[in-house]
Structure 1
Amino acid sequence: MRHLQLYRALQAVVREGSIRKASELLAISPSALNRQILGLEEELGVPFFERLPSGVRLSTAGEVYFSHFIKHLAEIDRAEATVADLSGLRIGHVKVAVSRELEAGLLSANILSFRREHPRVTFSVVPVLSADFSARLISGQADIALIAQPQYHDGIETVFSTDTAVHAIVARGAVPERATLRPDTLADMDLVLPADGVGFRTHLDQGLKRLRIDTGAAVESAGLIAPWVNEGGRASAQFVLAPAIDDNWLSACSASLHPVARIASVNVVMCKRAGRILPIAAEKFAQQLAASLQQTSADAIQAAV
């Protein structure tokens, strides 16, 4: 199926924005790849790419043809996965774009669980900002995206959506066990907030302002950090989404997880490119992840009540 090889080569060029960079990934010479593209353009009678000083980008006609090529590739991948299922061997590769605040915990646990049942399925996980996931889905760099407070763009379809309560990580013993953190408590703590510019941070800033709590962060962090209590007895509180927190990490850091009162729940969405038929492995994983997220979010909201 030589045309499939060409489709995958075109996908690499679109993703990299460069014939040279794509050829390096494909282990062929730039001139050979360029000849394939020129041959396609001659056959179609229209330019597939616009040549720019910095690389290439799809032409208007190229965008139309490329969308059909990608659908064809997805159908072939799905057919291969179906044949593997009939043989009792699920195979495939699942590409997930995810908000950093959702990267650990539930997502990692679901990947491990899925691979225990289907060891021939592999994964790639790419952290993205809430405004950037659409481009990865549309270009095919991600099959699904799991995003907190997403900023939607055209061409994106919601697969699953839920709300999950905001929690905070605190050093064990800094506040009473299982206590809900209320505004007066938070006002006397060092706040650890996500990096500015992500959807979750905007959501927190708005919630804290409504409570008249200073939105200045003692620390900004894209990942989890161990909580502390300083010499003066002032404790830190890192805002998180409960489904993303691993119990083993909490134990290792002598930390506890507490519901936060009077800050609205966060919208967590799983989505894909509109109209795309997911490969079987990606579809099965999306179903598993949605069920797990729904249960965990329901438990988190109940704990916050």
Structure 2
Amino acid sequence: MHFHFVALLYFRETVERGSIRQAAEALNVAASAINRQILKLEEQLGCDLFERVSGGMRLTGAGEVFHAYVLRHAQDFERTLSEIEDLRGIRRGHVTICCEEGFAKDFLPRVLRPFHQQFPRVTYKVDVAGLPAVVAAVEDGTADIGIGFEPDFDTDLRRAAEVHVELGAAMAHEHPLAGRANLHLSELVGEALILPDANYDIHDRLNKLMQGAGLKLSRIFETNSFEAMTSLIIAGLGIGLRTRVGISAEIARGEIAFVPIADRAFRSTQVVILTKARRAPPVAAALLCERMAAMFAALAEKKAPGAYGH
């Protein structure tokens, strides 16, 4: 069964707006045109998609099922349009990126600035989430590109690029340990620590390492936000165990000192760029992914300004 794209567009907008009138205003078309297309869909499907209620439109059970179908196929249609437009030389498109918090702060601006200058008609959506949500967004097609620390669980996603980044102790510049070339974890016993919570691989790795060594660290703060961790570190409330991702500007300004960890089992972690394995991304997303991979390679070789180290 085939459906006219305009009818699907009108249907989706009506669902999102809650009424034909508001959908018509948003799309700048006549309300009668939207109503006519919805009636055609209902006739084609042989069932009512909406209940006409006071003040708007409410999906029926069949309407809910059809709405899910429309959302799935809308993503594929928009990707197809992006590729066709690129082939026509229009150089436009849309890229959805889902990444962990630190990457949105310093990595994305560095890679997107030159890309946007070259392709000013490409638009973007950036979602910030924890690693499980990043992986899920790429798996279900909500995001074209995912960026995060190495997943500690199985996934069928393609690793478009990966790089090892240095783990270290981040602290206020006036901290007594700030001038050290490196630190062993055993030297942090008794120090007030600010740690990522169980949403992050660093948390589990640190727990296992400490248990194996018979050491106990003082966890003063645990947080699922690297931005919160950064603020707490600058305030002098403790030492954060993390990578340079998301704090390169603070390090450059002298607000934070970053001292690498010397323990072999906790020297680094891996950052990955994830894409769908069995489906080619839109042209704009594929090209952006290549640029990201090139920057990752430069970071790994410490050729880029503000490299994260490895």
**What TM-score do the two structures reach when normalised by structure 1?**
0.71
Indicate whether 1:127 and 2:128 are aligned: yes
**1:186-235 Cα shifts (integer Å, max 9, x gaps):** 223221112332344334433444444435532234012252586xxxx7
Does the C-alpha gap of structure 1 residues 98 and 229 become closer, same or farther in structure 2, counting only changes over 3 Å?
Answer: closer
Percent identity over the alignment is 21
Measured after TM superposition, the shift of residue 51 of structure 1 is 5.5
Amino acid of the structure 2 residue aligned with 1:82:
L
Match of 1:201 in 2: 203
Quote the RMSD (CA, aligned, Å): 4.3
Provide the residue aligned with 1:225 in structure 2. 231
Structure 1 CA distance for aligned equivalents of residues 198 and 85 of structure 2:
42
Question: Which residue is equivalent to 1:279?
Answer: 282
Question: Are residue 74 (structure 1) and residue 82 (structure 2) matched?
Answer: no
Give me the whole-angstrom Cα distance separating, in 1, the residues matched to 2:153 and 2:255.
38
Cα offset for 1:43?
Answer: 4.4
After superposition, where does 1:109-258 map in structure 2 within 5 Å?
109-150=110-151, 156-174=157-175, 175=177, 177=179, 179-214=181-216, 217-221=219-223, 222=225, 223=227, 224-225=230-231, 227=233, 236-246=238-248, 248-252=249-253, 254-258=255-259
- Secondary structure of 2:88's counterpart equals helix
SS at match of 1:218: strand
Distance 1:216 1:6 in 2: 60
Answering whether residue 64 of structure 2 is matched by residue 56 of structure 1, we say yes
Distance 1:173-1:138 versus aligned 2 partners, 3 A rule: same
Please give the secondary structure, in 2, of the residue aligned with 1:165. strand
Q: Relative to structure 1, is the Cα distance of residues 201 and 32 closer, same or farther in structure 2, using a 3 angstrom cutoff?
A: farther
Q: Which structure has the larger Rg?
A: 2
Contact in 2 for aligned 1:168/1:259 (Cα 8 Å): yes
Distance 2:194 2:279 in 1: 38
1:264 shift after superposition:
5.1
Unaligned runs of 5+ in 1: none
Q: CA deviation at 1:270?
A: 1.3
The residue number in structure 1 matching 2:52 is none
Question: Cα distance 1:70–1:151, how it changes in 2: closer, same or farther (>3 A)?
Answer: farther
- Tell me the number of residue pairs that the alignment of Structure 1 and Structure 2 aligns: 286
Using the size of structure 2 for normalisation, the TM-score is 0.70
What is the identity, as a one-letter code, of the residue corresponding to 1:56? E
Gaps of 5+ in 2: 50-58
Closer, same or farther in 2 for the Cα pair 1:251/1:70, shift >3 Å? closer
Q: CA deviation at 1:286?
A: 1.0
d(CA) in 2 for partners of 1:260, 1:279: 40
